[in-house]
Amino acid sequence: MDKKTHKDPAKTSAELPSVDLNPPEVQPQKPPAPPAERTIELPEELRKRTVKGPGGVEIEVEPLRDYYCEAPPTVMPAAYSKIVEDLFNWARAESIWILGFGTGCGAIEMRPLMTPRYDAYRYGIQWRPTPRQANLFVISGYLSVKTLKRAIRSYEQMQNPKYVVGLGSCTINGGMYWDSYNTIKRLDEYLPVDLYITGCMPRPEALLAGFMDLKRMIRAGEAEGANKYAEYFDWYKANQKRVIKDWDMPDYSW
Amino acid sequence: MIELYEQLKQRYALGEISVQRFDLVFITVPRENLASLLLYLRDTEGFTHLVLLTAVDWIEDNKFQLTYLINNRESATDLGLRVIIDRDEASMESIHDLWPTAATYQRELKEMFGIDFPGSPRIDEDFILEGWTEIPPYRRDFDTLEYSRDTYLERPGRSTSDPAQHMKQLFYPEDKD
Ligand code: SF4
């Protein structure tokens, strides 16, 4: 192969147009949406009600308060000494467990990674069926508002330390759905993105390169998305609630 | 298909016919005749499959056009029945009793166009959208671009280029015209 034209796939994500992944305090805030034409009611199972227990005891139930933890997430401080934190980060980087939740077209490109041809497992990367066991959430393409709702809940159910990777143009600036009435355009307004992988859709090699970058970031202690989410929690919640108009879930679902 | 049209014409008031292909024909029918016509076509003429039910927004005429596309598997022909209804307070008789699957189309039309089908199962429940508060998004007076600008924050720096021009620039920059 011609050495000069050969492009190191690992470089692809380093060549990203620089996007600011930090939630800035002074972002152009949109005014709240005008009063809705239609008032949205909570679904019946989430409304406050009284239920009859055994022996005729009446119990007041308020699902959104009673069934979920209400405490917002907190910032996780680093370990007491740098060398220990480095050890932790090394361990974290070597076991990246992805939540098997595909949104948008890009989810198709994750399948080949699980097969022998690309075999992501050799890098300590594997897919898990539940958020409880995962520490990486790959948002694999456009997110409709309806999916965003599920994505937020899934993300919040993942345990620290956790990371988010945005896959494809749709997560960066809306991609070809930039004028859609139903898809969000900037993922980092709603979830703390650690890394973006460009392309529409990115090939499995690009994903692998992205994962390698993510590993480097984790080892360097730079993948601090979850802490950012905790720190700017109100900012994220406000953004989420602005687009999810029928907010019928707890603010934070552990 | 033309024979069928002639034959139907003797029993029902039919509007204009448009022949798309030898196996695809559209007929405009008055809304009162639709249900009986569908029943007759389904049970007697072998059009047993409802392919789709969809709407077109003729905002200039203040009308909606509903298209019921049915298929005859024996003869591999498709017949589209068009019904024109008023756009204000749009409402149409439900045909979920003829094809249960029609209920799903009708829910979609209710949500996306705001056409009501009284009596259709679960017609008032959210279908694809959740918590939609604007006018139904497939109506032509709904401006999706404006809505998406107002609702979802954009990342600055997005640019668009015409693919033909871009490739020309890339490969034949010296070619001018
Ligand atoms: S970036 Fe392209 S491939 Fe990915 S979700 Fe968007 S349109 Fe689909």
User: What tokens were used for A198?
Assistant: 């460009």
Q: Write down the pLDDT at residue A20.
A: 58
Chain A residue closest in CA terms to B147: A181
Distance B11 CA to ligand 1 centre (A): 52
Nearest to A24, CA basis, from A244, A236, A170? A236
pLDDT at A15: 44
Higher pLDDT: A42 or A126? It is: A126
Helix axes A145-157, A233-243, angle to 10 degrees: 150
Residue A92 near residue A224 (C-beta atoms within 8 A): no
Stretch A230-236: mean pLDDT, rounded? Answer: 91
Q: Is B137 on the interface with A (CB under 8 A)?
A: yes
Read off the pLDDT band of A77 (50, 70, 90): confident
Average pLDDT for A182-188: 90
A141 CB less than 6 Å from ligand 1? yes
**Domain range summary for chain B, segments of one domain joined by +:** 2-154
Residue A31 is predicted with a pLDDT of: 47
Picking from B133, B150, B153, the nearest residue to A38 by CB comes out as: B133
Is the ipTM here above 0.85?
Answer: no
On whether the CB atoms of residues A124 and A220 are closer than 8 A, the answer is no
Q: Which architecture does CATH list for B2-154?
A: 2-Layer Sandwich (3.30)
CA of B142 to the centre of ligand 1 (A): 25
Q: Which residues pair with B65 in a beta bridge?
A: B56, B84
Which of A2-6, A116-120, A139-143, B111-115 has the least mean pLDDT?
A2-6
Q: Give the pLDDT mean for A106-126.
A: 90
Q: Is A142 in the pocket of ligand 1 (CB under 6 A)?
A: yes
Which atom of ligand 1 approaches the CA of A167 most closely?
A: 4
Mean of pLDDT values over A153-177 = 90
Is the Cα torsion angle A132, A135, A136, A137 positive or negative in sign?
positive
For chain A, give the percent of residues with pLDDT over 70. Answer: 84
Question: How far is ligand 1, taken at its centre, from the CA of residue A171, in Å?
Answer: 8
Q: Residue A39's pLDDT is what?
A: 63
Ligand 1 and A23: CB distance under 6 A: no
In this structure, the number of other CB atoms found within 10 A of the CB of residue A127 comes to: 20
Say yes or no to pLDDT of A26 above 60. Answer: no
Whether the predicted pLDDT of A10 surpasses 70: no
Q: What is the pLDDT of residue A2?
A: 41
Most A CBs within 10 A among B153, B154, B158, B159, hence the mutation to make, goes to B153
Helix (H) or strand (E) run with residue A236 in it: helix A233-243
pLDDT of residue A57: 87
Q: What is the DSSP letter of A71?
A: P
**Structure confidence at residue A195 (pLDDT):** 93
- Put simply, whether the predicted model's pTM sits higher than 0.90 gets the answer no
DSSP reduced 3-state for A225: helix
How far, CA to CA in Å, does B10 sit from each of A28, A161, B20, B166? 66, 74, 22, 59
Q: What is the CATH number of domain A78-243?
A: 3.40.50.12280
Judge whether residue A6 has pLDDT over 80: no
DSSP secondary structure string for all residues of B108-175:
HHHHHT--B-TT-TTTTS--S-SS--SS-TTSTTS-HHHHHHHHSPPPTT-----HHHHHHHHH-TT-
Q: Determine the Cα–Cα distance for residues B22 and A126; give it in Å rounded to an integer.
A: 54
Low-confidence ranges of chain B (pLDDT < 50): none
Domain ranges across chain A: 78-243
* Average pLDDT of chain A to the nearest whole number: 82
pLDDT in the model for residue A8: 41
pLDDT band at A46 (very low <50, low <70, confident <90, very high): confident
Is residue A218 predicted with pLDDT exceeding 90? yes
Of residues A28 and A90, more confidence is placed in A90
Q: Please give the pLDDT value at position B163.
A: 87
Distance from CA of B174 to the nearest CA of A (A): 24
Query: Residue A231 pLDDT more than 50?
Result: yes
**Within its chain, how far is the Cα of B148 from the centroid?**
24
User: What is the pLDDT, as a whole number, of residue B2?
Assistant: 83
Residue A17 to residue B133, Cβ atoms within 8 A? no
